[in-house]
Structure 1
């Protein structure tokens, strides 16, 4: 996610000194053929089948889901845990925003959002369950019998979601309805056990397994849908449209709807790129940035493995947010006179498709893994598209300048990059350390390894961990393998990471 007002101000300042000439110009046209899905088989991933209807009168969702879960660990499990992220929006004092952000998050005053669990079944029999955790953001389902390694279980959940009037990830505003982090999603069980972090107000507190989704969604006919996955069928009735959407090897499922969308479509490397703008404002421009990003990142990292990606203008005050096959871009970026902030955020969020979307990590415990690499990938975008001199200007004026300003204000602060979200006191600290200092570390890593080995490392990291979850240890081992020099001191200096 691109972070907050301070970072956007830094981006705008760069406009004053950078003159950009477009070097790429892929045609904007609708793909005329069915695109083959580059499907990589991942065994035993969670399988979601969801039916949902949006009720406009109450701004709510009525839904049921069946999750087929496989125990991929070597432990026997007695419970299955789900995150209930909508409950983070239940009360004003616990809403997942910093206090200084509340007026922008709730421009009409606080409006609650929540999820109500109506029924839980295991294999069609009533299951014992309990809502637990801070603000009841966790659902614990107690299994009728222990789930042994490689065992499977089917969990059925009937639920309702109340969407808040909020400019955050989940909520609605004047133009869009943002249906994100809205359904009960299975927690990750790894070497640390169940990961049950709360919805922190700083950063992106998400961590999930690559999964399979089959979603049937009903919306009033006036709404246009932007979604994760591929629309397989669309059934139009007099007042409602029903969509069947399928997505494979994705970590989440999001839908954005609006009556005001203008849709432009293009194709890059046989991938359909869609731009959903509000009333057509800068829709073509956002599309071009998306096309450019796909081609550049395909070349640098490895091929984007899905059929489509959507760039969606939303009521979203933060700036940008990544989801599988879809990036949310705050509509205020389209309304600026300068184009550079929009390009920066689009490129950043599309880079997240590779780092966290395809190569996953625990964003609550090791957020640097996706954010630092994504921020540096944004620099690589500008370098590939406009030249090394532009990359250096962006690096100096956005990345390095923010970190140095932060250090001037907080001289004795802890600057190790490898830290969890709970260790950061503010978004300014988080952005300065994880994004800026993190990108500075990646730049130093590049200089230490050399150009050829660094780019080999990026491709190897991507190819080795597609649709898997990684750790700092995985990152270190991958890049050390491609390096001719010892990287251990570099990782110790910047991350306070010691290889075991």
Structure 2
């Protein structure tokens, strides 16, 4: 009896020991899946500055220890500094102890913190930073202009460590060089009384004190960064997007006098969220904001929050406003929920957003409108560029590869990139293409998806190797120019059509569509053009009249796609003596008549 009690006691103690040891570890693992930012900030509208204190709970999720940590401090970028922008780091503490730091990087946008003790794998620390930001007078994603504060990239944010080491790329004006891990945010932001603030996250509350309004924002789910806009001239209209069985609250912030455009922006955002949720995967968050600012750009993407330039807020510019809002909203799927290094692999967000904004018009207005918008905003700019430059580039290039050539960057990554995605969509078919989009959102949500990951997932869904596609159209460059020849042979009621597609341009590999037109219908077949030409035979039950190579311009490259007449060769039966043939037919008829008479007599006799 005593032995049993002792055994039970030991069992309970052992269980409690392992429970108390293991439960905190599991809890820490869950909490530490993402870092956490807590920022308290105050905007001084007269001095154009922000005073702030920031706390970052950071975990080392790598298999080596760190003696220093790196953060991006983008307000120091030359394009901001030249117009009055800067960030001053006043003090840094690590786990309550003051730490040394330096400002470094080729453009002085890197903050290097020296750790008092190494940060070991799976260990966490608390980083406290006191800083002051000067806001430049600039129409940009970070700047003040005409009563509007656009506040992106204003606070220190952790650099990403991966197989390249620490990613310490400079700030990039023509495009983006941003690369962030998802994290939780809790922001308290004080503005002067009467100023309206829009931002990433869910608005928890607004405390109205004498002379100031204090906005409290938080993110129930991880986001890639935090951005905001502040103005006393904002009006707000809201609505709801239906996502699965839940509703997403959508807000449109616009400047006085822009009510109609503000409604257009709101409705576009609502429709975009609903369609992208259907075709790509559900929008993860409960709120979304589209905000009017002043900028040199059309729009800028941030989690749960997008900036749209004021010049588009006109009823006369409805189509382009819809296009830009749809584009930036799509970034919440491509860059936001599924992340990428926007500097090294802009292919993993910009082409997706560019193709998505044209698909928005297809889903809302129909196929004809889609073709019109795709031609106007994607195809023509690319072909104009080729005509001027007479040179093509890979869509897999980084922003750094393009350097200062912003025209090449935007044309190749955005326009050609969207054309290549459309070709992939055509190649896979809608069912598999959108299955791939869902797969990416499910597997890489709140994570980083690299180009190599995209290729692997595309091949899994497609069910075959796509080496030829990625080598020719993603990593490679070149512009084909296709033409088609066709002749047919008629044998009885069957037509055998021989197609030959020639490529007079760059010798890229492609599966090329050819339309066959008849009196009754049109059918489309495909054939491989492995560099310079490809051939194929097709059997048809009706006469082919004309053929067209790539009539919808699926494969990027300006082709001779006018209808080409089919040369028809009718196979004649062997020649015979006509007189002899007539004699045989007559004799056959006489014999047939005689047989019928005999048959008739026989029938009468049996009756």
How far is the alpha carbon of 1:408 from its aligned partner? 0.9
Alignment pair present for 1:339 and 2:318: yes
Contact 1:324 / 1:353 at 8 angstroms: preserved in 2?
yes
**Which residue, out of 351, 354, 366, partners 1:387?**
366
Partner in structure 2 of residue 362 of structure 1: 341
- Give secondary structure in 1 for the equivalent of 2:47: coil
Partner in structure 1 of residue 235 of structure 2: 262
Alignment pair present for 1:484 and 2:463: yes
Structure 2 distance, partners of 1:221, 1:273, is 24
**Which residue, out of 229, 246, 251, partners 2:201?**
229
Partner in structure 1 of residue 226 of structure 2: 253
Alignment pair present for 1:422 and 2:400: yes
- Give secondary structure in 1 for the equivalent of 2:368: helix
- Give secondary structure in 2 for the equivalent of 1:154: strand
- Where in structure 2 are there 5+ consecutive unaligned residues? 1-29, 477-607
Partner in structure 2 of residue 95 of structure 1: 79
Q: Deviations over 1:317-365 (max 9, x none)?
A: 2110001111000011003623101000000000000000100000010
Partner in structure 1 of residue 190 of structure 2: 218
Alignment pair present for 1:287 and 2:266: yes
After superposition, residues 455-494 of structure 1 pair within 5 angstroms as 455-494=434-473
**Which residue, out of 241, 244, 248, partners 1:271?**
248
Bigger fraction of residues in strand: 2
**Which residue, out of 208, 228, 244, partners 2:216?**
244
Alignment pair present for 1:399 and 2:382: no
Structure 2 distance, partners of 1:473, 1:156, is 36
Structure 1 distance, partners of 2:32, 2:469, is 36
Contact 1:170 / 1:178 at 8 angstroms: preserved in 2?
yes
Structure 2 distance, partners of 1:147, 1:477, is 34
- Give secondary structure in 1 for the equivalent of 2:335: coil
- Give secondary structure in 1 for the equivalent of 2:349: helix
Structure 2 distance, partners of 1:177, 1:452, is 43
Partner in structure 1 of residue 474 of structure 2: 495
- Give secondary structure in 2 for the equivalent of 1:292: helix
How far is the alpha carbon of 1:414 from its aligned partner? 4.5
Structure 2 distance, partners of 1:45, 1:486, is 35
Partner in structure 2 of residue 326 of structure 1: 305
Contact 2:323 / 2:358 at 8 angstroms: preserved in 1?
no
- Give secondary structure in 1 for the equivalent of 2:362: helix
Alignment pair present for 1:315 and 2:294: yes
How far is the alpha carbon of 1:467 from its aligned partner? 0.2
Q: Deviations over 1:64-97 (max 9, x none)?
A: 1011110111121111100000000xxxxx3179
Structure 2 distance, partners of 1:325, 1:373, is 18
Structure 2 distance, partners of 1:43, 1:145, is 20
Which is higher, the Rg of structure 1 or of structure 2? Answer: 2
Structure 2 distance, partners of 1:96, 1:296, is 37
Structure 1 distance, partners of 2:175, 2:148, is 22
Partner in structure 2 of residue 209 of structure 1: 181
- Give secondary structure in 2 for the equivalent of 1:134: coil
How far is the alpha carbon of 1:182 from its aligned partner? 0.3
After superposition, residues 290-305 of structure 1 pair within 5 angstroms as 290-305=269-284
Structure 2 distance, partners of 1:383, 1:485, is 28
Partner in structure 1 of residue 133 of structure 2: 161
Contact 1:235 / 1:243 at 8 angstroms: preserved in 2?
yes
Structure 1 distance, partners of 2:116, 2:473, is 47
- Where in structure 1 are there 5+ consecutive unaligned residues? 1-40, 89-93, 98-109
Per chain length, whose mean CA-contact separation is higher, i.e. which structure has more relative contact order (CA < 8 Å, sep 6+)? 1
- Give secondary structure in 1 for the equivalent of 2:462: coil
**Structure 1 stretches of 4+ moved >4 Å:** none
How far is the alpha carbon of 1:166 from its aligned partner? 0.4
What's the RMSD between the two structures over aligned residues? 1.6
Contact 1:449 / 1:484 at 8 angstroms: preserved in 2?
no
Structure 2 distance, partners of 1:268, 1:397, is 29
Residues 395 and 293 (structure 1), Cα distance of their counterparts in 2 relative to 1, 3 Å cut: same
Structure 1 distance, partners of 2:91, 2:140, is 28
Contact 2:32 / 2:59 at 8 angstroms: preserved in 1?
no
Q: Deviations over 1:374-429 (max 9, x none)?
A: 11111221111111221112222211111111111111x34101111111132211
Residues 283 and 372 (structure 1), Cα distance of their counterparts in 2 relative to 1, 3 Å cut: same
Q: Deviations over 1:38-84 (max 9, x none)?
A: xxx78431211111000112010000101111011112111110000
Contact 2:103 / 2:111 at 8 angstroms: preserved in 1?
yes
